[in-house]
Amino acid sequence: MLDIRVEKTATPKDLPKADNPLKFGTIFTDHMFVMDYDIENGWQDARIIPYQPISLEPSAMVFHYGQEMFEGLKAYKTEDGKTLLFRPDKNIERANKTNRRICIPEIPEEDFLQAIKEVVKLDESWIPTKPGTSLYIRPFVIATDPFLGVRPSDTYKFMIILSPVGAYYPEGLNPVKIWIEDDYVRAVKGGIGDAKTGANYVASLKAQVKAHDEGYSQVLWLDGVERKYVEEVGAMNIFFKINGTIVTPVLTGSILPGVTRDSVINLCKSWGLPVEERRISIQEIHEAHQNGTLEEVFGTGTAAVISPVGQLRWEDTIMKVKDGGIGEYSQKLYDTITGIQLGKIEDNFQWIVEV
Ligand code: COI
């Protein structure tokens, strides 16, 4: 058990007003969790302190070679005042998988969970309660050695910051338009595509800007070798409903293993829907669209929850899905997942952890 020192802010900020749309990732709570690592002492000096800037040497390795990991999960307030987390164990497990991949020392799972719970508890008055809102939790680790050679750092900082959020996309639950990228690639098998590290997101920016310029909100990546198989959207995993079957790309090593992805697979199976995790070519999607069997497309992610896709653009082909409207399963999955997260629907999978 961590001994977490707590220093409360002397100047609490005003909570966001009820009509604040809580634009994703723009507002931060009063406190943050910090813990340091060095080779002699391991992870040590766990503390919750007022949210504030941090001071690092300009030579800190994170600035030069990007050795950093992050996670994203959410806390919710129930109508009877409980604070709930959704599957934090999955995020913690994935965080340590990322850590192993990019040579960051692992964080003991029980310490990680305790840190999340304690900082969320302290700032629980910041958890918004309007439909579609939650408290986004962003744990991350950065390499702090002041050194310009390329090797794993010997020192790190682990932090958790909290942000009350509304929908990730301005569209909310309205369908998004997605650009299928066949020029740039996001990741390749054997690389770091299945690790949650900033490098994957910076790799996505160029195509994202291109897609935005064309009026599309996100990029759907194809595999980096054959440029043929659908992978993920960067901020989301992707699902298709084709002729009654839910199909999602199998995790081949270049796709992020999403917690919402796993939850959707479990829910769909529990509803008796056939679910296939397999390679799926963009040609197959095109054919399903042409023969009328492409019934729904949606993205899944912690920030985005369920995001229906109303349009896909692949080269010169525009594929409209559900006439641009929300599909039955996109809506049902959104309602079920948010219902479980808010303690309104029975949690048959033991996904909820109370703070
Ligand atoms: C999340 O869904 O939590 C993510 O980390 C995606 C991020 C791009 C907001």
pLDDT in tens, 147-167: 999 999 999 999 999 999 998
Q: Which of 165, 199, 233 is the last residue of a domain?
A: 165
- Residue 170: pLDDT band (50, 70, 90) is confident
Least reliable range by pLDDT among 63-72, 165-174, 224-233, 280-289: 165-174
Whether residues 159 and 248 share a domain: the answer is: no
> Would you state the pLDDT for residue 232?
96
Do 214 and 281 sit in the same domain of this protein?
yes
Does residue 251 come out as left (phi exceeding 0), alpha (psi in the -120 to 50 range) or beta?
beta
Residue 292 maps to which CATH number? 3.20.10.10
Looking at the fold, whether 132 and 263 belong to one and the same domain comes out as: no
Say which amino acid occupies 89: D
Separation of alpha carbons 4 and 69, rounded Å? 22
Residue 208, amino acid: Q
* Ligand 1: centre distance to CA 5 (Å): 29
Region 297-313: mean pLDDT is 94
Candidates 26, 87, 136, 168: which one to mutate for ligand 1, based on the most atoms within 8 Å of Cβ? 168
To the nearest whole number, what is the mean pLDDT of the chain?
96
Q: Residue 322: what pLDDT? A: 84
Residue 326 reports pLDDT greater than 90: no
206 shares a domain with 335? yes
In a domain, 350, yes or no: no
Please say which residue of 165, 190, 210 terminates a domain.
165
- Residues 9-32 have a mean pLDDT of 96
Query: How many domains are contained in the chain?
Result: 2
Q: Is residue 355 one of the residues assigned to a domain?
A: no
Is the pLDDT at 307 greater than 80? The verdict is yes
Judged by phi (left if over 0) then psi (alpha if -120 to 50, else beta), residue 244 lies in left
Residues 218 and 300 in one domain: yes
HEC per residue, the chain = CCCCEECCCCCCCCCCCCCCCCCCCCCCCCEEEEEEEECCCEEEEEEEEECCCCCCCCCECHHHHCCEEECCEEEEECCCCCEEEECHHHHHHHHHHHHHHCCCCCCCHHHHHHHHHHHHHHCHHHCCCCCCCEEEEEEEEEECCECCCCCCCCCEEEEEEEEEECCCCCCCCCCEEEEEECCCCCCCCCCCCCCCCHHHHHCCHHHHHHHHHCCCCEEEEECCCCCCEECCCCCCEEEEEECCEEEEECCCCCCCCCHHHHHHHHHHHHCCCCEEEECCEHHHHHHHHHCCCEEEEEEEECCCEEEEEEEEEECCEEEECHHHCCCHHHHHHHHHHHHHHCCCCCCCCCCEEEC
Ligand 1 centroid, distance to 41 Cα (angstroms): 31
- Mean pLDDT over residues 81-108, rounded? 98
Residue 189 lies in a domain: yes
349 occurs within a structural domain:
no
For the cut 90, the answer to whether the pLDDT of residue 182 exceeds it is no
Model pLDDT, residue 302: 94
Identify the pLDDT of residue 29: 98
Percent of the chain whose pLDDT exceeds 70: 100
Q: Do residue 259 and residue 219 come from a single domain?
A: yes
Is 129 found in the same domain as 13?
yes
Q: Are residues 46 and 95 part of one domain?
A: yes
Q: What is the CATH number of the domain that holds 148?
A: 3.30.470.10
Q: pLDDT class for 37, splitting at 50, 70, 90?
A: very high
Q: Please tell me whether residues 50 and 121 are part of one structural domain.
A: yes
Q: What is the predicted pLDDT for the residue at 180? A: 95
- Expressed in angstroms and rounded, the spacing between residue 304 Cα and the centre of ligand 1 is 8
Query: In this structure, is residue 353 part of a structural domain?
Result: no
Please name the residue whose Cα sits nearest to atom 5 of ligand 1.
72
Within this chain, do residues 129 and 200 fall inside the same structural domain, yes or no? Answer: no
| Mean pLDDT, rounded, for 93-118 | 98
Atom of ligand 1 nearest to the CA of 196: 5
Q: Does residue 152 sit in the same domain as residue 299?
A: no
Q: What is the ipTM of this complex?
A: 0.95
User: Does the structure show a pLDDT above 80 at 324?
Assistant: no
Which token pair is 297? 């497309």
Shared domain check, 11 and 159: yes
Structural domain span for residue 72: 5-165
Residue whose CA lies nearest to ligand 1 atom number 9: 303
Ligand 1 in reach of 327 Cβ (< 6 A): no
Q: Are 248 and 238 in contact (CB under 8 A)?
A: yes
Q: What is the model's pLDDT at position 344?
A: 95
Which of 165, 195, 214 is the endpoint of a domain? 165
- The confidence band for 171, taking pLDDT boundaries of 50, 70 and 90, is confident
Give the C-alpha separation, 288 to 312, whole Å: 13
Rg (CA), the chain: 21
CB of residue 301 inside a 6 A radius of ligand 1? yes
Is 300 part of any domain? yes
